[in-house]
Amino acid sequence: MPQGLLKKVAVVTGGGRGIGKAIAEQFLAEGARVVVFGRTADELDRVVETAPARALSVVGDVTSPDNIAELADVVTRRFGRVDTIVPCAVHIQRVPFAEFEEADIRQHFEVNFHGAMRTVQQLLPTMNRGGSIILMTGFLEQSGLAGLSAFNASKAALRSAGKSLALELAGREIRVNCLSPGPTATSLWGASDNQTSTETTQFAALQSAASTIEDRLPRGQFASPKEIAETAVFLASDSSHNLNGQEIVVDGGFGVS
């Protein structure tokens, strides 16, 4: 089994489900030590159980500065450093712009942008020289989809910030890249029955577009979360040492169809 991340220390927020979970599990399979952060203890525990000697969980919310400060403290006390940061927590609602409440727009930015920046900022003091920061953007931020103006704007802000961070942290040889997943078989798109009633309502409008999106994919199917995670492994590994300030789009050809 490949061990491209052997002994590296990684932090993955939103690590209990979907792409975040797949990234955490793939990092563990590649030999990394992983701290998973999220709001639901049971989901995080299932990830930790796959490699209990090298994984630990921290329960919290990326919108809470205190929770992120606690995460940074746990990482520092347990491992003394971090090599890879993957802020993967996400908030998404598909609502016509005219119907958006201001609080809804703020929540998109609070989770998707501020949550990611907060995580990176708190962990930077303990980040190793030569580390890797992987910011999660998304294919819809590039192509657009009606009803996702707030989500797409929050992801576009993250992409823009990533380019500036890449320049700012170059002196420490810390790479900052964006990973832009295309259509992926997660609960957002109806691939799982493990949803709360609130999520079912929130995601229903998004799932209604799934078949239309699938028809545009050259191979006719969504990617698996593991396929996205494999690209994250590359970005976290030393093999990507000359890749910085880029957005890697893994969309199965959606953008060219």
pLDDT of 43-86, one tens digit each?
999 999 999 999 999 999 999 999 999 999 999 999 999 999 99
Looking at residue 151, its amino acid is: F
How much is the average pLDDT of 155-183? 95
Q: Which residues pair with 135 in a beta bridge?
A: 178
Q: Which residues pair with 192 in a beta bridge?
A: none
Structure tokens at 70: 């606690």
Q: Which residues pair with 246 in a beta bridge?
A: none
Residue 3 lies in a domain: no
Residue 4 lies in a domain: no
Q: Three-class SS of residue 135?
A: strand
**Backbone φ, ψ for residue 180 (5° rounding):** -110, 95
Q: How confident is the model at residue 142 (pLDDT cuts 50, 70, 90)?
A: confident
CB 126 within 8 A of CB 76: yes
If one counts the domains in the chain, the total is 1
Residue 159 lies in a domain: yes
How much is the average pLDDT of 116-136? 97
Structure tokens at 234: 């590359």
Q: Where are the alpha helices (DSSP H) in 102-221?
A: 102-108, 115-123, 139-143, 149-168, 197-207, 210-215
Residue 1 lies in a domain: no
Q: Which residue has the higher pLDDT, 157 or 148?
A: 157
Residue 230 lies in a domain: yes
- Give residue-wise pLDDT tens across range 173-219: 999 999 988 766 566 655 454 545 444 455 555 565 555 665 565 56
CA 254/CA 257 separation, integer angstroms? 5
Q: What is the CATH number of the domain that holds 110?
A: 3.40.50.720
Of 145, 164, 129, the residue nearest 205 (C-alpha): 145
Residue 2 lies in a domain: no
CA 74/CA 96 separation, integer angstroms? 41
Bridge pairing between strands 55-59 and 247-250:
unpaired
| CA quadruple 195, 197, 198, 201: dihedral, nearest 10 | 90
CA 214/CA 203 separation, integer angstroms? 16
The HSE-up count of residue 128 (CA atoms within 13 Å, CB side) is: 18
Q: Three-class SS of residue 200?
A: helix
195 lies in which domain range? Answer: 9-249
CA 71/CA 59 separation, integer angstroms? 9
pLDDT the model gives residue 98: 82
